């Protein structure tokens, strides 16, 4: 058969023409709302902001669960009406051609939606330079959402081939998309046989580790991220590969089933009652699982079971438009018994299966990272890629974990590492383990000797394109100098220094990049080197001067000032207070008098911190130590006078 016979442009054009209003609406919905969301995010921000991927794509994500269904219904909806089936299928066009043409048409429409959305995001990134949207992120979104939309569209088309109504198509699509991942997730969640435990005989401590979960297709993955929040990385190569493979299978299967479809099966749920009952039972299974997981009062359980029964009848009413009570009552009782029995059976089997205990023979490789990294927003992708195959070290770490003391009150425990093992069976096990200082040092010492690991850790910290200093942008030359300074410093640090690199008490330099499909954020103290401090101070001082100029003569704007010394310690204005109320004008004068002056990080200095209404916190670095000392003295004196006055009045 010629390829031209498989695709009929005239049919596609006419098929789209008949629903042009709906198609046009859904074509512009995602791009328009994405543009609006982006503009709302940009609106009223007085500082530079790096776009959060989920913040930008949530409209697209919602669309993922609606638009492919609408497209499938628009293009294939004729199969649900007897009159339209007669009309369309009597036309000189084969079923295969109809399926392929409509599928390609739908994919083209999805491509248009995603391309326009990507274009709008790119235009926004051009129009609003203070709202940083990485181009690589836009490309990722384009690929990820396009493949995901196409996947849902193909699943919806597959469901259409055996459904008699649009509602049954939706139910079936949902089952194909969510049922198997839900079952697997439930199994992982409750399966004791999948859980490794570290047994410590002395303290009866059982340490459960997380087994790396299977990466599902995007519709379930995104749903899982949104609902459970268990993964922040939106893009997944494995998910995309899986969707491409499954999508191809579903397409071929859909084409075959469409060719074989009994077109007389319209306005009925499915061609056979048994399929209807199976589908209905499958939709009830998640409810049974949830019912079993809820440890509620008996009354609540009865209410929930009643809801399941109502759902059972409602399902028939919606998808079949009729309820046969005697059959349905027998059906619901049988379904509940069978499903509950199945669930309890699997629970029993799980309990019988022996628990696994991790032994050194099971471990293939390991990786570690410093626990506090998580609190500093550093993404640890390198952990997923760099594993050290060192049998001796694996054994050492395993022994360390078995011997660890798990007592929060124990003062000898100082440091926590995330230990990650790759087992010979392919499992990845993560575990946070606390170590005594000696053991911690010994482990870091051992790991530092591995060049691959050290390179990976440093690379993880060095890859950055965008630099923000307390949410303020810098010019290219300054960014380059800061990145270069930080990189040079990191290269000279050993592992322990890197791990224990603390945030600044004043403010941080944030380094951003969208790399390996993830928004990488890293924070470093602005005084990591003298150069970084000097550049940062210049940028911060300039911003503070600009803000002060704007609010100097505007008494309606609330402002408060604080002082910090070079070590980052807050200066007390009076006993236990840091708020400088009597020297506000002096501080503003000091800032304005310093316009054009150069800050020298080598000289003693103070930082004036201002909280000004409608503005982010402002920082001003000054070497006018004498002037500041005078202000501190004046503030303390005024506070003392005030305190004495109040005390006298009280007496």
Partner 1 sequence: MIKIANLTKSYGKKIVLENLNCHIKTNSIYGLIGANGAGKSTLLRIINDIFKRDSGSIEIDGKEVENNQELKQNLVFVPDDLYFFPNYTLMDMAKFYEAMYNHFDMAYLKELAEILKLDTNSKVSNFSKGMKRQCALICAICTNADYMFFDETFDGLDPVIRNLLKKIIAKQMEKKNTTIIMTSHNLRELEDICDNLGLLYKGGILFESDIDSLKTNMFKIQISLTGNFNKDTFQELEILNFKKIGSVATIIIKGDQAKAESILKKFHPIILDFLPLTLEEVFIYEMEVLGYAFNQVV
Strands (E) located in 84-204:
131-132, 196-200
According to CB under 8 A, which one of 263, 305, 309, 638 is a site residue for partner 1?
Answer: 263
Nearer to partner 1, 84 or 645 (CB): 84
- DSSP for residue 509: E
Q: Residue with structure tokens 């359980």?
A: 301
| Residue placing its CB nearer to partner 1 in the complex, 4 or 556 | 4
Contact call for residue 13 and partner 1 (CB under 8 A): yes
Q: Which is nearer to partner 1, 161 or 369 (CB)?
A: 161
Closest contact distance (angstroms) between CB of 170 and partner 1 is 21
Taking the least distance from each CB to partner 1, the nearer of 5 and 557 is: 5
Shortest spacing between CB 238 and partner 1, in angstroms: 39
Per CB under 8 A, the segment of 13-21, 153-161, 172-180, 626-634 that binds partner 1 is 13-21
For partner 1, the closer of residues 6 and 119 by Cβ is 6
* Residues 221-254 as b or e (16 or more Cβ within 10 Å = b): bbbbbeeeeeeeebbbeebbebbeeebeebbeeb
Q: Which residue among 3, 10, 202, 227 contacts partner 1 (CB under 8 A)?
A: 10
Q: Is 14 in the site for partner 1 (CB under 8 A)?
A: yes
The upper half-sphere exposure of residue 192, i.e. CA atoms within 13 Å in the direction of its Cβ, equals: 11
- The rounded distance, in Å, linking the Cα atoms of 16 and 74 is 8
With contacts defined by CB under 8 A, name the span among 8-16, 121-129, 186-194, 559-567 that binds partner 1: 8-16
Q: Which of 7-15, 134-142, 226-234, 555-563 is the region at the interface with partner 1 (rule: CB under 8 A)?
A: 7-15
Q: Which is nearer to partner 1, 84 or 484 (CB)?
A: 84
List, in sequence order, every residue forming a beta bridge with 367; answer none if it has no partner. Answer: 420
Stretch that binds partner 1, among 11-19, 238-246, 376-384, 444-452 (CB under 8 A): 11-19
Q: How far is the CB of 166 from partner 1 (least distance, A)?
A: 16
> Which DSSP category does 567 fall into?
T
Minimal CA–CA distance to 156: which of 110, 202, 201?
A: 110
Spell out, one character per residue from 588 to 627, where the chain touches partner 1: x when CB under 8 A holds, - when not: ----------------------------------------
Nearer of residues 74 and 379 to partner 1, judged by Cβ: 74
**Cβ of residue 92: shortest distance to partner 1, in angstroms?**
4
Within residues 221-260, the interface with partner 1 by CB under 8 A covers 259-260
Min CB(165)–partner 1 separation in Å: 17
The separation between CA 232 and the C-alpha centre of its own chain, rounded to angstroms, equals 2
- Tell me the C-alpha distance between 538 and 531, whole Å: 11
578 binds partner 1 (CB under 8 A): no
User: 82 or 238: whose CB is closer to partner 1?
Assistant: 82
Q: Contact at 8 Å (CB) between 149 and 113? A: yes
Is residue 22 close enough to count as binding partner 1 by CB under 8 A?
A: no
Q: For residue 638, state whether it binds partner 1 (rule: CB under 8 A).
A: no
Q: Which residue from 66, 127, 206, 262 is in contact with partner 1, where contact means CB under 8 A?
A: 262
Which of 97/117 has CB closer to partner 1?
97
Residue nearer to partner 1 on the CB measure, 38 or 74: 74
List C-alpha distances in Å: 499 to 83, 413, 448. 70, 16, 12
Q: Cβ closer to partner 1: 82 or 130?
A: 82
Closer by beta carbon to partner 1, 260 or else 629: 260
In the bound complex, what is the minimum distance in angstroms from residue 261's beta carbon to partner 1? 8
Q: Is 264 in the site for partner 1 (CB under 8 A)?
A: yes
Burial class of 569 by CB neighbour count within 10 A (0 to 12, 13 to 18, 19+): exposed
Interhelix angle for 584-593 vs 530-551, to 10°? 120
Alpha-carbon distance of 552 to 592, in angstroms, equals 10
Residues 6+ apart with CB under 8 A from 413: 405, 407, 434, 435, 436
Enter the tokens of residue 536: 């940062």
How many angstroms separate the CA atoms of 143 and 531, rounded? 40
* Shortest Å, Cβ 256 to partner 1: 13
| Residue 324 interacting with partner 1 (CB under 8 A) | no
Burial 77-109 (b: 16+ CB within 10 A, else e): bbbbeeeebeebeeeeebeebbbbbbbebbbeb
- Distance between CA atoms of 159 and 176, rounded to whole angstroms? 8
Minimum separation from the CB atom of position 1 to partner 1 (A): 9
Calculate the CA dihedral of residues 636, 639, 641, 645 and round it to 10 degrees.
-160
How many residues bind partner 1 (CB under 8 A)? The answer is 28
Determine the Cα–Cα distance for residues 278 and 289; give it in Å rounded to an integer: 17
How many CB atoms within 10 Å of residue 496? 16
- Least distance to partner 1, CB of residue 106, Å: 19
Query: Rounded to whole angstroms, how far apart are CA atoms 77 and 4?
Result: 24
Nearer to partner 1, 10 or 409 (CB): 10
CB count, 10 Å around CB of 603? 9
The least distance separating partner 1 from the CB of residue 338, rounded to whole angstroms, comes to 25
Decide if 228 contacts 389 (C-beta within 8 A).
no
CB of 320 to partner 1, least distance (A): 15
DSSP-derived secondary structure letter, 615: S
**Tokens describing residue 94:** 């084969």
Q: How near is the Cβ of 110 to partner 1 at its closest, in Å?
A: 23
The number of angstroms, rounded, from the C-alpha of 369 to the middle of its chain's C-alpha atoms is 20
User: Cα–Cα distance between 383 and 457 in angstroms, integer?
Assistant: 9
Per-residue x/- track, 346-375, partner 1 (CB under 8 A): ------------------------------
Q: Considering only residues 61 through 120, tell me which ones interact with partner 1, judged by CB under 8 A.
A: 81-87, 89-97
Q: Which is nearer to partner 1, 274 or 392 (CB)?
A: 274
**Chain positions contacting partner 1, by CB under 8 A:** 5, 10-11, 13-14, 18, 81-87, 89-97, 259-260, 262-264, 272
């Amino acid at each position: 058969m010629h390829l031209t016979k498989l695709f009929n442009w005239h049919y596609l054009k006419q098929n789209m023409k008949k629903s042009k209003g709906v198609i046009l609406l859904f074509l512009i919905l995602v791009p328009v709302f994405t543009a609006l969301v982006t503009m709302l995010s940009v609106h009223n921000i007085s500082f530079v902001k790096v776009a959060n991927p989920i913040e930008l794509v949530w409209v697209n994500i919602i669309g993922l669960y609606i638009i492919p269904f609408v497209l499938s219904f628009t293009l294939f909806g004729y199969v649900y009406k007897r009159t339209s089936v007669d009309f369309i299928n009597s036309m000189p066009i084969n079923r295969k051609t109809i399926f392929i043409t409509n599928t390609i048409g739908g994919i083209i429409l999805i491509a248009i939606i995603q391309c326009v959305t990507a274009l709008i995001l790119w235009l926004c990134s051009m129009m609003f330079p203070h709202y940083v949207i990485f181009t690589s992120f836009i490309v990722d979104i384009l690929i990820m959402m396009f493949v995901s939309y196409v996947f849902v569209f193909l699943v919806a088309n597959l469901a259409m081939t055996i459904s008699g109504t649009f509602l049954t198509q939706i139910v079936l699509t949902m089952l194909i998309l969510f049922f198997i991942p839900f079952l697997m997730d439930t199994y992982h969640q409750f399966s004791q046989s999948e859980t490794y435990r570290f047994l410590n005989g002395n303290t009866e401590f059982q340490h459960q580790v997380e087994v790396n979960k299977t990466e599902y297709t995007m519709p379930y993955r995104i749903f899982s991220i949104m609902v459970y929040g268990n993964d922040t990385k939106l893009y997944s190569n494995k998910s995309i590969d899986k969707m491409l493979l499954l999508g191809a299978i579903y397409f071929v299967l859909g084409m075959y089933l469409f060719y074989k479809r009994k077109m007389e099966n319209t306005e009925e749920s499915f061609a056979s009652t048994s399929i209807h009952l199976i589908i209905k039972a499958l939709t009830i299974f998640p409810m049974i699982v949830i019912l079993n997981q809820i440890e509620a009062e008996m009354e609540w359980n009865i209410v929930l079971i009643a809801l399941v029964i109502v759902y059972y009848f409602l399902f028939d009413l919606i998808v079949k438009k009729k309820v046969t009570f005697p059959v349905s009552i027998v059906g619901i009782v049988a379904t509940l018994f069978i499903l509950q029995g199945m669930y309890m059976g699997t629970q029993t089997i799980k309990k019988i299966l022996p628990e696994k205990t991790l032994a050194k023979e099971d471990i293939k490789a390991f990786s570690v990272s410093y626990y506090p990294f998580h609190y500093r927003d550093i993404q640890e992708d390198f952990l997923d890629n760099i594993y050290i195959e060192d049998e001796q070290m694996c054994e050492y770490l395993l022994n360390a974990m078995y011997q660890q003391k798990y007592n929060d009150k124990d003062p000898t425990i100082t440091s926590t590492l995330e230990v990650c093992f790759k087992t010979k069976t392919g499992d990845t096990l993560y575990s946070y383990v606390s170590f005594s200082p000696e053991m911690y040092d010994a482990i870091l010492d051992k790991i530092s000797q591995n060049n691959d690991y050290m390179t990976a850790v440093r690379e993880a910290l060095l890859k950055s394109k965008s630099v923000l200093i307390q949410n303020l942008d810098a010019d290219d030359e300054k960014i380059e100098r800061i990145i270069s300074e930080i990189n040079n410093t990191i290269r000279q640090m050993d592992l322990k220094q890197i791990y224990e690199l603390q945030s600044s008490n004043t403010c941080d330099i944030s380094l951003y990049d969208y790399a390996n499909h993830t928004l990488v954020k890293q924070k470093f103290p602005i005084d990591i080197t003298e150069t970084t401090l000097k550049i940062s101070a210049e940028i911060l001082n300039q911003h503070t001067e600009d803000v002060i100029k704007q609010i100097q003569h505007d008494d309606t704007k609330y402002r408060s000032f604080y002082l910090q010394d070079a070590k980052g310690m807050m200066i007390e204005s009076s006993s236990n207070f840091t708020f400088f109320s009597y020297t506000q004008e002096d501080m503003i004068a000091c800032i304005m008098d310093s316009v054009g002056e150069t800050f020298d990080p080598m000289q003693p200095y103070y930082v004036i911190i201002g909280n000004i209404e409608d503005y982010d916190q402002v920082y001003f670095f000054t070497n006018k130590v004498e002037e500041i000392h005078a202000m501190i003295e004046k503030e303390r004196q005024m506070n003392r006078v005030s305190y004495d006055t109040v005390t006298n009045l009280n007496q």
